[in-house]
Amino acid sequence: MRRSVLSNFCLLLAVSLIVLTGYGGASSAPSPVEIRVGLLFPLTGAFGFLGTEQHRGAKMALDMVNAKGGVLGTKIQMITADSKSDPQIAASETQRLIDQNQVPIILGSYASALSTSASTIAERNRVVFWEVGAVANELTQRGYKYFFRSVGNATTYAEADVDFLSRVVAPALKKPLQAIRVAVVHENGPFGTSVADSLVKLLDKQGIKPVSRESYPANATDLTSLVLKLKAARPDVVFLTPLVADALLFWQTAQDQDFNVPVLVGSAGISSPAFQERFGNRGVEGVFDVEPPSAAGLNPRGLDPSVAEALRSFLVTYAKEYNRAALIHAGLGFNGAWIVATDVLPRAVRASGGKLTPDVIRQAALATDINDKDSILGYGVKFAPNGDDERGKAFIMQWRNGNLVVVWPEALARMTPVVPMPTWDQRR
Amino acid sequence: MFVQTVLSGLVLGGVYALVAAGLSLIFGVMRLINFAHGQFLMLGMYMAYWLHVLFGWNVYATGLVVVPAMFALGWATQVLLIRPIRGSNPSAYLLTTFGLALALENLAAIAWTRDPRAVSLRYGRLVLGDIRLTTPGLVALLGSAVAIAALYAFLRYTRLGTAVRATAQNPISAELAGIDIKLINALTFAVGTALVGIAAVLLVPTYYVFPEVGHIFTIIAFLVTVLGGLGNVGGSLLAGLLIGVFEGISGTYISVELARAITFGIFIAILFLRPTGLFGQQARV
């Protein structure tokens, strides 16, 4: 009887001590919580060039936060995995990050095709998948609870396109909107198809029927047929939604075949530094792009001063370390990771009570509420129940003198748009 | 638009024909399907790429190194991999070359990653009204034609070439007539691979180079070889050009996405009507 009272008392004491130290919270010594973040990007393969940019941006954000002491005093442990531009490898690497490294959150993944397979694995394992760059609408139509994306979806691209078409292009070409000849060209994967579908739907609402709608496989080795068809259709505007290598191939073929069009609005590879490096300043002059704003090309005048300073610091550090400007993809990586590290994770750690689980992070993500002016890329973040960023927006950029600058809408624009683009003869 | 489509189709078709000629030759003489044919093309392309990027060589000048190197590679492959399994189970050849294909592709991916690489060349074009022919396109067209003509001349007018044809016709009689079959087999494989080396150099100016680039060329080479009649080098040329033009026309007039599928469909239809290909002969027993 005495023995059991003693052992009960000891047990009670031990449990109390554990409970009391566990509820230390922010006011106690630095939290013993471990913060592990997985980074899944295509560092090699067909998307390698832009996947690397996005990874660099994300890593830089996390490094910067760690340099200031980490999240509430705890450094973030980063584990990087290369999805090699292959959806199957993306899936297996996601599983590996979850099993071997026990990450509660994964930042990724650049491409819609990769995101689809990787986030499926994450959802199955109830791990948060924070998408920084892939925009296909279907990613948030699956009823997933652990999927979030800090970027506007494909519909935002279509909205920006149509807005630009009606407010800038039609007046500049001195044609009524319904008379504009529009061609919609896209790679036939989830990204290209999602953007093209959204675009055609919105154009239809304006009474515009495209004179040409073409899809092609992103790994096509020859696009001569495509360009010849477009030439025959004589469009005023081509909306091109490519991936990486095919974007360059398209432009090269357009040059070879002397395909001239007053306005080309591209995406993905068209906004890549490799595009400018391959064709030179004159070769890319005037080409438009629709995407979230380019970090180095946006006008920060509307941003909160501290946020503008963080952006400036990022741009300078990135340029110095990688010898090229941080454009769209590096900016998206940075923005997503920055929000996770400076907004979501602190909230999650405070609520976690010692163990950072995916569910705690998920709750913290749902509470995210950042305004446009408080966000580095000029568009805020607040998640709809399906994981889409309600405040996500796309912008129109233009290559001017080798720089990719935002030209529309005016809120973030650095320059006014120039329509039409130079012809190939004028580029020589 | 039609003329341009056909012209662009001919340029591509010429390269298809060149790749297929090598495959057809190898099959004709040794009754061997080389599954690694496309991967040899990939290696040739990487070789040309690196010589250009690392040492600044003119892309076409790299052929001076690439073609002999591919010749040697082909010879070595036949002697070290093919010859030792001669006489065993017929599927052994299939598996060996298939295994070689896998090995080469993955080794390339490890060595050079799967990033697609392109040489950035400034090149000119010929402009005739609405028609445009880029310089690399013209060179590819002429290069393929010359290479295939040279192959034909070799087979028809030289002693060695005649020995190759004799071996293709009947290996046993050829051996009895005093022809060194071992030498002829190695030579054939080497020549077939050298042709692929020429194709590689012609492709590099305008094509991306990456480990998987061999796949589609292997498949198309099979298609062209069968369409032209197995073992018929001249047939391969015509079949290659035909396939190239078909693909172009399907793409421009029907659908870019379905161009290849349509071409393959036409191939199936032709085989249905003529199982030995357009120019092939009945199988010899």
Interface membership of A192 toward B (CB under 8 Å): no
The residue written with tokens 């061609």 in the block is A183
The β-bridge partners of A239 are A184, A265
In this structure, how many other beta carbons lie within 10 angstroms of the beta carbon of residue A384? Answer: 14
Asked if A221 reaches chain B (Cβ–Cβ under 8 Å), the answer is yes
A274-292 per-position pLDDT tens digit: 899 889 999 999 999 999 9
Mean pLDDT across A202-228: 92
pLDDT at A31 over 60: no
More confident: A383 or B91: A383
Phi, psi of B186 (to 5 degrees): -60, -45
Taking each helix axis as running N to C, give the angle between helix B37-55 and helix B181-203, from 0 to 180 degrees, rounded to the nearest 10. Answer: 50
Are the beta carbons of B120 and A278 separated by less than 8 Å?
yes
Q: Report the alpha-carbon distance of residue B245 to residue B11 in Å, rounded.
A: 9
For chain A, give the percent of residues with pLDDT over 70. 93
Shortest distance between the Cα of B108 and any Cα of chain A, in A, equals 12
Closest chain A residue to B128, measured at CA: A257
Q: Which residues of A touch B113 (CB under 8 A)?
A: 44-45, 48
> Exposure string (b/e) for A308-342, b if CB count within 10 Å is 16 or more?
bebbeebbeebeeebeebbbbbbbbbbbbbbbbbb
- The answer to whether the Cβ–Cβ distance between B256 and A216 falls below 8 Å is yes
Q: Which residue of B has its CA nearest to A216?
A: B257
Q: Does A185 touch chain B (CB under 8 A)?
A: no
Kindly report the nearest CA distance between residue B214 and chain A, in angstroms: 12
A345-401: pLDDT as tens digits: 999 999 987 789 999 999 999 999 999 999 999 999 999 999 999 999 999 999 999
Q: How far is A32 from chain B (nearest CA, A)?
A: 40
Which contiguous run of DSSP H or E holds residue A372?
none
Per-residue pLDDT band for A15 (boundaries 50, 70, 90) equals low
Please report residues of A whose CB lies closer than 8 A to that of B200.
none
**A216/B257 Cβ within 8 A:** yes
Q: Is the pLDDT of residue B114 over 90?
A: no
Contact B125 A256 (CB under 8 A): yes
Q: Which of B113, B132, B248 sits opposite A44 (nearest CB)?
A: B113
Helices and strands per DSSP (H, E), number in chain A: 15, 12
Confidence at A25, pLDDT banded by 50, 70, 90: very low
Backbone angles phi, psi at A216, to 5 degrees: -150, 155
pTM of the model: 0.86
Q: Which of A172-181, A311-320, A321-330, B219-228 has the lowest mean pLDDT?
A: B219-228
Residues 6+ apart with CB under 8 A from B206: A252, B134, B136, B137
- Inter-chain CB proximity B210 and A48 less than 8 Å: no
Q: Which amino acid is at A32?
A: P
> B273 vs chain A: nearest CA distance in angstroms?
29
**A13: pLDDT confidence band, cut at 50, 70 and 90?**
low
CA distances from B175 to A371, B85, B178, B185, B211 (A): 84, 19, 5, 12, 39
Q: What Cα–Cα distance (Å) separates residue A153 from each residue in A194, A287, B6, B81?
A: 9, 22, 40, 53
CA separation for the pair B134, B144 (Å, rounded): 15
